[in-house]
Structure 1
Amino acid sequence: MGTDWKHSTAVADGFDAYDDLPERVLGYATVFDRLGEDVRTVLDYGCGPGKVALRLAEARDVDVIGVDISERMLEIAREVRPHPRVDYRRIESGRVPFLGDGSVDAAISCYVYINIGDLDVIRAIAAEVHRVLRPGGRYAVLDTNPDTTGVQFSTFRNGEPGLDYAKGQRRQVLLNRPDGEVLELSDYHWPRQTYGEVLADAGFTSVEYSTPVLGDIPGAQVAGTLLDTGRPAEAEAAPFLIVTGVK
């Protein structure tokens, strides 16, 4: 059985305490860039404790609808990361019925697909996002890079070194928290091709893949952090896969 993201308060609190340094430097910056121009409303499907939604509202002149299955995640988001341009809502059986067809300009899903072991559920999410996107709207999916599973990055490791994971196989996840504690989770291995197939099946076109490393993004070496000490793994291996499609 995978991690209980929906009901576990310990998981929600532990994930909130994790310092998402490489994610915000390499992952989120790339996601925001891939959304394109003329974007006024963005759906953050699987917003968790609101870290990405808040950064997006601060980085871009947009309104964000952050949605999640976990009441505890949404509680943290509303209490810790409120913003006048972010609206946090609950996902209902995988759907967002409070949003009309073609009602948002862009959408993102960060660390959602890897935490679902059922491809039919993932396909349903992609279809729901496709429904609420306007024609021409872009959808960006961010997950850990399946091609660098087992690599110890500055703050996390997905999977055990040396193991070749099969499609849909569970993996151990270790998140190093600033307090010295390690949050152990479990996710699922989805090859790069799976992401493209899921988006294409939902009706998305012009599917593109991005795997940034330090040096690809100006200013990515954050002074005084783990990314600024020696030669971090993020300088050689891409920790994240960002897949985008257009409705």
Structure 2
Amino acid sequence: MKQNKYDDLGFFEKYSQMPRSTGGLNVAGEWPALRALLPELQDKNVLDLGCGYGWHCLYAHEMQARSVIGIDLSEKMLERAREMTKDSAIEYRRLAIEDIDFAAGEFDVVISSLALHYVERFDIVCRKVHHCLAPGGSFIFSVEHPIFTSRAEQDWYYGTQGERLHWPVDGYQDEGLRQARFLDNDVVKYHRTAATYMNTLIDSGFRITRISEPQPAQEMLDNHPEMQDETRRPIFLLIAAVKNE
């Protein structure tokens, strides 16, 4: 199933008002951890899967990547990305992540930020990424943490006074589709265990080099007190892997 909720005008307008939409990488809580996993990008050919507004493409270009391609299924996302891009070294293409079909060894680095939990067949994506990466190339991605995606509700367990008591986890081993609510809309996500993410990478010919379950940096917590509860459970899972030579 290939979703394209972001071309729904009402959904896109709500997404456009989110802090990470208006403030970019500087207000994305997981960005410092993701940036730390990235290899040297200078003179590299970079692919961004589910590029959205193109924030990561712009960063790769700033780091002097040789070429950058961002793909996304949403024309509205790509339209916004093109508006913010002034350099021909960044190319945006409308394409579903599952449908990538690049040449063998075309890229040195493949990035994906908070997109792969919307993809049903992670194994197919891994094989295609492996194919289009040069030997020793890097695959770095973030997804919603399996503790976060295990229940479709994706919400706290509240006390009688509305206080957040704990984050419930249930059905963790039951992988598959979750009908979640996001920005007052029904959105399909796919829950996988942490082991499935890692073993699928290994089975596809990757070597995992780093795992991260980041919490917001102290500066972000100081500036956004409402994020204090984000330290109580992991919300993101970040994985860095390299293609076996």
TM-score normalised per structure 1: 0.75
Aligned partners of 1:3 and 1:187 also within 8 Å: no
1:222 to 220, 223, 229: 220
Aligned partners of 1:2 and 1:186 also within 8 Å: no
Aligned counterparts of 1:17 and 1:111: Cα–Cα separation in 2 = 17
Q: Alignment RMSD, CA only? A: 3.3
Aligned residues: 224
1:221 is paired with a residue of what secondary structure? helix
Aligned counterparts of 2:70 and 2:104: Cα–Cα separation in 1 = 17
1:167 to 2:170 alignment: no
Aligned partners of 1:159 and 1:171 also within 8 Å: no
Which stretches in structure 2 are left out of the alignment for 5+ residues? 157-167
Aligned counterparts of 2:204 and 2:80: Cα–Cα separation in 1 = 31
Aligned counterparts of 2:154 and 2:2: Cα–Cα separation in 1 = 13
Q: Which has the higher helix share?
A: 2
Aligned partners of 1:112 and 1:143 also within 8 Å: yes
| Aligned counterpart, 1:28 | 31
Aligned counterparts of 1:37 and 1:235: Cα–Cα separation in 2 = 29
> In the TM superposition, what are the counterparts of 1:13-24 in structure 2 within 5 Å?
13-20=13-20, 24=27
Q: Deviations over 1:9-54 (max 9, x none)?
A: 4434433332227975432332222121255221101112323323
- 1:173 positional shift: 3.8
1:127 is paired with a residue of what secondary structure? helix
Aligned partners of 2:177 and 2:188 also within 8 Å: no
1:211 to 204, 210, 213: 213
Q: Deviations over 1:121-143 (max 9, x none)?
A: x2222222111111111101201
Aligned partners of 1:144 and 1:158 also within 8 Å: no
1:26 is paired with a residue of what secondary structure? coil
TM-score normalised per structure 2: 0.75
Aligned counterparts of 2:31 and 2:135: Cα–Cα separation in 1 = 23
Instruction: Look up the equivalent residue of 2:219 and give its one-letter code.
Output: Q
1:185 is paired with a residue of what secondary structure? strand
1:102 is paired with a residue of what secondary structure? coil
- 1:107 positional shift: 0.8
1:233 to 229, 234, 243: 229
Which stretches in structure 1 are left out of the alignment for 5+ residues? 152-156, 176-181
In structure 2, relative to structure 1, the CA distance for the partners of 1:197 and 1:5 (3 Å cut) is farther
Instruction: Look up the equivalent residue of 2:170 and give its one-letter code.
Output: D
Identity of counterpart residues, as a percentage?
26
Aligned counterparts of 1:96 and 1:87: Cα–Cα separation in 2 = 15
